[in-house]
Amino acid sequence: MEIKQLDNKYIANTYHRADLLLEKGKGSLLYDEKGKEYIDLGSGIAVNIFGIADEEWENAVSHQLKQIQHASNYYYTQPQAKLAELLCKKTGMKKVFFGNSGAEANEAAIKAARKYGSDKYGKDRNIIITLVNSFHGRTIATLAATGQDDFHHDFGPFPEGFVYADANDSEALVKIVDENDGKICAIMFELIQGEGGVNVLSEQFTKTIADICSKKDILMVCDEVQTGNGRTGKLYCYMNYGLKPDIFTTAKGLGGGLPISATVFGEKTENVLTAGTHGSTFGGNPVCAAGAFSILSRLNEDVFEGVKLRSNYIIDELSPLDTVESVDGLGLMLGIKPKKDLSKVVEACKEKGVIVLTAKDKLRLLPALNIPMEQLKKAIEIIKEALI
């Protein structure tokens, strides 16, 4: 049977797959089974940070593969310890819990936030404020944290203790905090809502969050699953805002294409999770950790400058167009609202050899951070045509 038919027959119908079978790639170029070439502006949803088959990453991964592929967390392994040290050194944070996905990283953050509240103030301090339009994952708890009703049909009952606040409405947030005084353990948010439509939090709103958190000993939890690892022109997006989260989570780009996530703890939270309170069989897998180390060790100012350069190019080219309603986002996490029907734009891009993503009513671009300028220019010309 043909691959597409096999897939449709035997794989649970959870994805709206595009009619595209990807076979291989190199850097920011992808090829389907007929050899047709595509310029990739999605990087597997912000995952392939340095594109497909990046040589240094490939070497690090295959080297580790020949040493030991898995050991369980009963034992020490080198790549995990080295990666945790690097994450802490680059961020000033104190400790790391490794998982395998964004949802798992957020699940660990939710558990740690609740335990912090409970240890210090008693078990009634368990409410986590999240934002309307947020996306925090697909497990039952992270779905509950996700402030989008669309995701909540059919799967209840959900765990209690999540209250949703409108993004960028400081007054409303203050009101919610007052109404639940003494019961809130954390405020969890994405600085740029990805799945929610590439919505950027205002600096003023994040200042309000920071202010509330420091005054009331409420934990600031930044979900950097999508915004992290250089994507927005800094190592983590909170650094653009001058924030100091108590916990941040990251996944997608961290492993450069392998499944690994990190829940990263600061001074207040580094010792909240204790032996036996949390765990993961695969979490911090040596091969994934070696891949992540290779990525993280190369995310430096040069890369961030490159991100800003590419970002400015895209914004300068697309935002003045009559066919474009708006361009939002930061760095290489950009949302373009077309005047034309979105699905037609995506289809036209695919037809002409460019892979793009969507988020709500926007075209979403999440290219590799090192996409060659020539390929990016070619892709933007194709998008311009597709927007007409």
| Site for ligand PLP contains 209 (CB under 6 A) | no
| Site for ligand PLP contains 237 (CB under 6 A) | no
CB closer to ligand PLP out of 287 and 382? 287
CA distance 124 to 375: 54
| Site for ligand PLP contains 190 (CB under 6 A) | yes
Q: Minimal distance in Å, beta carbon 15 to ligand PLP?
A: 12
CB closer to ligand PLP out of 125 and 252? 252
| Site for ligand PLP contains 136 (CB under 6 A) | yes
Which residue is at the shortest CB distance from ligand PLP?
A: 102
Give 387: exposed, middle or buried? Use CB within 10 Å, 0-12, 13-18, 19+: buried
| Site for ligand PLP contains 137 (CB under 6 A) | yes
Count residues binding ligand PLP (CB under 6 A). Answer: 15
Q: Measured between alpha carbons, how far is residue 243 from residues 202, 205, 220, 240, 268 in Å? A: 13, 12, 9, 8, 15
Cα atoms in the Cβ-side hemisphere of radius 13 Å centred on 184: 30
Q: Minimal distance in Å, beta carbon 259 to ligand PLP?
A: 8
Q: Which residues contact 311 (CB under 8 A, 6 or more apart)?
A: 233, 330, 331, 332, 334
Longest CA–CA separation in the chain, Å: 62
CA distance 129 to 185: 8
CB closer to ligand PLP out of 40 and 224? 224
| Site for ligand PLP contains 223 (CB under 6 A) | yes
The binder of ligand PLP chosen from 102, 253, 266, 291 (CB under 6 A): 102
Q: CB–CB of 83/293 below 8 Å?
A: yes
| Site for ligand PLP contains 367 (CB under 6 A) | no
CB closer to ligand PLP out of 101 and 375? 101
The binder of ligand PLP chosen from 184, 219, 225, 288 (CB under 6 A): 225
Coil vs helix vs strand at 10 = helix
| Cis peptide upstream of residue 159 (ω within 30 degrees of 0) | no
| Site for ligand PLP contains 101 (CB under 6 A) | yes
| Site for ligand PLP contains 263 (CB under 6 A) | no
Q: 221-241 burial, b if ≥16 CB within 10 A, otherwise e?
A: bbbbbbbbbbbbbbbbbbbbb
DSSP string, 72-134: -TTS--HHHHHHHHHHHHHH---EEEEESSHHHHHHHHHHHHHHHHHHHH-TT--EEEEEBT-
CA distance 186 to 209: 10
CA distance 172 to 157: 27
Q: Minimal distance in Å, beta carbon 188 to ligand PLP?
A: 10
CB closer to ligand PLP out of 102 and 233? 102
| Site for ligand PLP contains 226 (CB under 6 A) | yes
The binder of ligand PLP chosen from 57, 135, 241, 293 (CB under 6 A): 135
Q: Minimal distance in Å, beta carbon 361 to ligand PLP?
A: 18
Stretch that binds ligand PLP, among 35-43, 72-80, 89-97, 132-140 (CB under 6 A): 132-140
* Secondary structure letter of residue 238 according to DSSP: H
CA distance 232 to 310: 11
The binder of ligand PLP chosen from 117, 194, 230, 286 (CB under 6 A): 194
CB closer to ligand PLP out of 360 and 378? 360
Residues that bind ligand PLP (CB under 6 A): 101-103, 106, 135-137, 190, 194-195, 223, 225-226, 251-252
